[in-house]
Amino acid sequence: MKKILLKMGAAFAFALALITTQSAFAAGDHSIASHKVVFQVSSANPGTQHLVLNNASNIKKHWGDDVDVVVVAYGPGLSILIPSAKNKEKQRVASLAKSGINFDACGNTMGHIKKKTGKMPPLVAGVKIVPAGIARIVELQEKGYSYIRP
């Protein structure tokens, strides 16, 4: 009887771990990495934007697949994710997105741009739209992400 209960307890623990893992994935925390970092980009300053990409790239090189890096851009910082002629970082953003760095664009900021211009701004390939950039940063911090704002 004890063996059956022990086996059932082990099966229950495994099922609970599986459900917990699936819940984390469903909630948008797709990372199983030991390290989690979120970078904020809220400035249109090219130097600041370049620094964020350098930092994100360096941390990815340092920990490889054992780090989840998310760059969240909102307000004037959204310009880093728009493939305009002024954006000197557009190819680098696309390349870093392919290498596993996540880029999130603020849906609120995009809506404001649409209100002014009449259309949604295009985004660099690999960029995901989130409802609100600042809320995304808060959610990631609540999930254990380290917050960095250069």
Tens of pLDDT, residues 103-120: 999 999 999 999 999 999
Measuring CA to CA, how many Å separate 8 from each of 16, 17, 20, 28?
12, 14, 18, 30
Q: Residue 32: what pLDDT?
A: 86
> What SS3 class is residue 92?
helix
What is the average per-residue pLDDT within 126-145? Answer: 98
What is the average per-residue pLDDT within 83-95? Answer: 96
Kindly report the pTM of this predicted structure: 0.80
Average pLDDT, the chain: 86
| DSSP-assigned beta bridge partners for residue 130 | 106
Q: Residue 47: what pLDDT?
A: 97
Cβ count within 10 A of residue 22: 10
Tens of pLDDT, residues 29-43: 556 899 999 999 999
| DSSP-assigned beta bridge partners for residue 98 | none
Cβ count within 10 A of residue 105: 26
Under the banding of pLDDT at 50, 70 and 90, the label for residue 77 is very high
Annotate 68-83 with b (16+ C-beta within 10 A) or e (fewer): bbbbbbbbebbbbbbb
Q: Residue 26: what pLDDT?
A: 38
Q: Residue 27: what pLDDT?
A: 40
Under the banding of pLDDT at 50, 70 and 90, the label for residue 23 is very low
104 Cβ neighbours under 8 A, 6+ residues apart: 70, 71, 72, 73, 127, 128, 129, 130, 133, 136
Sign of the CA dihedral with 79 first, then 83, 86, and 90 last: positive
